[in-house]
Structure 1
Amino acid sequence: MKEKEREEIEKWIEGDESGTEMLSRVSSVRPFLFPPPLHRVPLRVGNVLELVGPSPSAKTQILINAAITSVLPKPYGGLDHLVLFLDLDCRFDITRFSQLLIHRITQHGTDSYDQALYHLCMARFLYVRCYDSFEFLHTLRTLHRRLEKEKEVQGVGVHVLMIDSIGAFHWMDRASMFLSQRETSKKKLFLQTVSEAVVQNIRKLLQVHPMLIMATKSVIFGNRYSTASNEVKGNMEERCSKNMTRNHQNFQYREYMPSVWQSFVTHRILVHSSDEHPGTINHQNSSAYLLEWLLPKLSFPDRIVVKDLVGWCLCPIIMYLLRRDVYLMIILAVAVNKLLYLVK
């Protein structure tokens, strides 16, 4: 026993990693330094952050801002990592992401932006679209090889996995529970089984690729009950107390995801529209939203304003497209995606 302990001590003294490997290991343990509104609580690899709120409530916008921070190099205030974005809602707007990325790049003192930097950041943003739970599960099972390949090609790994939105297939899977017994078992999806498979595959992936998980989830109910329904609300609160979450502003939503996913979540933020309407700021349309930390519970909310950047971003984007014809494919891809979404 003493000989074994001695060998372990000698092995520890000799060291089994280089300085680069040590710095990479230490940096992965440090919390992510995201800008507001994700600055209140330190987020680390292995954490699962859930953004809940009605649609629309800027949940995807928060993911986009966090993704841009992740893919930007450190001199530009970024984290210098890859981001994997799983679009389950099939409504992601790549032009919006491009506009915000250009906006962040041009914030560093120049009117024009570095095209090479733009290419680098766009290459670091990995996008996958899934149309049902089968594709989602298949994607999770095959992500290991893709992440390894991207790390070899780009020299950095994926540290943030984003899922928008995690409950997109909930109702389709729930409807499949009522299929006839004559249907094949492959067509039957049970909510608990699907959620268990999703959580299990993500856990396996985190063991090989430590990442921060960020997922959005749309709620079922609206954000406010009318005054005329106060009596009905009072009678229903006692029955729904186990399945209902309520904050101090009387915003209520029903939790519909299975318990296996709820227990998997380590951090949760409630996002909803604010009563204060910012209106028009510098000829830009804008909307205000409130963010409240539910897990861990924080007593003070954050207020964010989402501006429409289409007007001021239009000119530099057009100039860039004229210089680079390849980016016309972006517009074509967006048009095709929207057409497929309408057909679906």
Structure 2
Amino acid sequence: MTENGAQLFARLETRPCLKDIEPQLFPEGGGPNHGEVVELYGTEGTGKTEMLYHLLCRCVLPVATGGLEVDVVFVDTDYSLDMLRLVSILESRLNAGSSSSAESDEAALRLCLSRLLVVHCSSSSQLLLTLHFLETSLSSRPGLALLLIDSISAFYWLDRCEGGASAIRQEEKLRKCAELLGRLLSDYRITVFTTCHAIKKVYNGPSSGSGYDRPYLCRPWQRLVTHRLLCSRQETNSVAPSAGGSEEQSRRQVFTVHCTSSGSRTKAYRSSSFCVTDGGVKFI
């Protein structure tokens, strides 16, 4: 084995595994392994991006605060990344139970943010170039273990329009992205989480349901996905005492994630509920 080959092998061996990234979603270390892809699928406003923020914070936070201390790449295709929100969540979790000084808290926050690389994309072509660029980052940063994409379906309608009447041309760019990402997953053994917007479709047959739970992106992408989190939203009423002692109705949003995993392992199912607080996702 050449020197470069030996160095590459060493990097692959030390790449962090994220099977314990969130026990509420993946109990008993049943989370994604090296080289696996998790798709958060659902309509707009079902908590998908907030869940990405939750997972991102879990990864960049220090071990002493329940984090994993790994590097993360966040690919923002919707131009909706809210850095103020992300910093607020990080500060909330760093300050929980901490008695350190303001200077040390700021230093800890800066260290967390140093583990994060943010990239913006405005087309499938830029996404493809970003994945090529990512290979350089992966080879030089063995602590980079997580790739977040929000969202993989952002350019679906644009690609369909540019592809005209040809289904092959419509899917060409995403297919190239999926093929390149598949190679990166195999070579560098990172873990990928991505959101995917549901599109209402009409299906025939009694088992079609609402039509939101069917994948619609190209088959090369579908073959990459090893775990699927179906996200939905429900309204619940909670009763809280007012300042005057009487009870008043307050409304909060509760989100549900239905987890499925398949592949070489037996398919498994699990449902979890959570709400979104000032400090981020809170499981119920």
TM-score range for the pair, normalised by the shorter chain length = 0.7 to 0.9
15, 25, 32: which is aligned to 1:38?
25
Amino acid at match of 1:99: S
196, 205, 214: which is aligned to 1:238?
205
Percent identity between matched residues is: 26
**Cα separation, 1, equivalents of 2:241 and 2:170:** 45
**Cα separation, 2, equivalents of 1:306 and 1:63:** 12
**Cα separation, 1, equivalents of 2:215 and 2:118:** 28
291, 303, 318: which is aligned to 2:273?
303
Instruction: Indicate the structure (1 or 2) with the bigger Cα radius of gyration.
Output: 1
Please state whether the residue corresponding to 1:190 is helix, strand or coil: helix
The Cα shift of 1:286 comes to 4.5
* 1:332-343 equivalent positions in 2, closer than 5 A: none
**Cα separation, 1, equivalents of 2:235 and 2:91:** 30
173, 178, 201: which is aligned to 1:199?
178
User: How has the CA–CA distance of structure 1 residues 59 and 111 changed in structure 2, closer, same or farther, with 3 Å as cutoff?
Assistant: farther
**Cα separation, 1, equivalents of 2:197 and 2:101:** 37
**Which consecutive unaligned segments of at least 5 residues does structure 1 have?**
1-10, 12-16, 182-187, 223-232, 311-344
User: How has the CA–CA distance of structure 1 residues 258 and 189 changed in structure 2, closer, same or farther, with 3 Å as cutoff?
Assistant: closer
Query: Are 2:94 and 1:123 aligned?
Result: no
The Cα shift of 1:285 comes to 7.9
> Cα deviation per residue 1:43-93 (whole Å; 9 max; x = unaligned)?
211110000011011111111111111111222211111000001111111
The Cα shift of 1:205 comes to 1.9
The Cα shift of 1:221 comes to 2.5
Please state whether the residue corresponding to 1:173 is helix, strand or coil: helix
Please state whether the residue corresponding to 1:55 is helix, strand or coil: coil
The structure carrying a bigger strand percent of its residues is 2
Aligned to 1:213: 192
Aligned to 1:259: 219
Amino acid at match of 1:164: D
Aligned to 1:321: none
Query: Are 2:256 and 1:290 aligned?
Result: yes
The structure carrying a bigger helix percent of its residues is 1
User: How has the CA–CA distance of structure 1 residues 213 and 110 changed in structure 2, closer, same or farther, with 3 Å as cutoff?
Assistant: same
**Cα separation, 2, equivalents of 1:166 and 1:278:** 35
**Cα separation, 2, equivalents of 1:282 and 1:84:** 44
Amino acid at match of 1:46: G
Query: Are 2:134 and 1:143 aligned?
Result: yes
What is the aligned length?
Answer: 261
> Cα deviation per residue 1:95-117 (whole Å; 9 max; x = unaligned)?
11000000110113337661111
TM-score, normalised to structure 2's length? 0.79
Instruction: Kindly indicate whether the alpha-carbon contact (under 8 Å) linking 2:37 and 2:227 is maintained by their aligned counterparts in 1.
Output: yes
**Which consecutive unaligned segments of at least 5 residues does structure 2 have?**
244-249
* 1:74-85 equivalent positions in 2, closer than 5 A: 74-85=63-74
Instruction: Kindly indicate whether the alpha-carbon contact (under 8 Å) linking 1:165 and 1:216 is maintained by their aligned counterparts in 2.
Output: yes
**Cα separation, 1, equivalents of 2:47 and 2:172:** 30
**Cα separation, 2, equivalents of 1:277 and 1:125:** 37
**Cα separation, 1, equivalents of 2:193 and 2:242:** 32
* 1:261-280 equivalent positions in 2, closer than 5 A: 261-277=221-237
Please state whether the residue corresponding to 1:274 is helix, strand or coil: strand
> Cα deviation per residue 1:139-171 (whole Å; 9 max; x = unaligned)?
11121223345x2xxxx5210011110000010
143, 157, 177: which is aligned to 1:171?
157
> Cα deviation per residue 1:159-213 (whole Å; 9 max; x = unaligned)?
001111000001000001228x9xxxxxx98233222211121122224422001
Q: What is the RMSD computed on CA atoms of the aligned residues?
A: 3.5
Instruction: Kindly indicate whether the alpha-carbon contact (under 8 Å) linking 1:71 and 1:81 is maintained by their aligned counterparts in 2.
Output: yes
The Cα shift of 1:255 comes to 2.6
User: How has the CA–CA distance of structure 1 residues 290 and 146 changed in structure 2, closer, same or farther, with 3 Å as cutoff?
Assistant: same
- Higher RCO (Cα < 8 Å, 6 or more apart): 2
**Cα separation, 2, equivalents of 1:145 and 1:51:** 27
**Cα separation, 2, equivalents of 1:104 and 1:89:** 26
TM-score, normalised to structure 1's length? 0.66
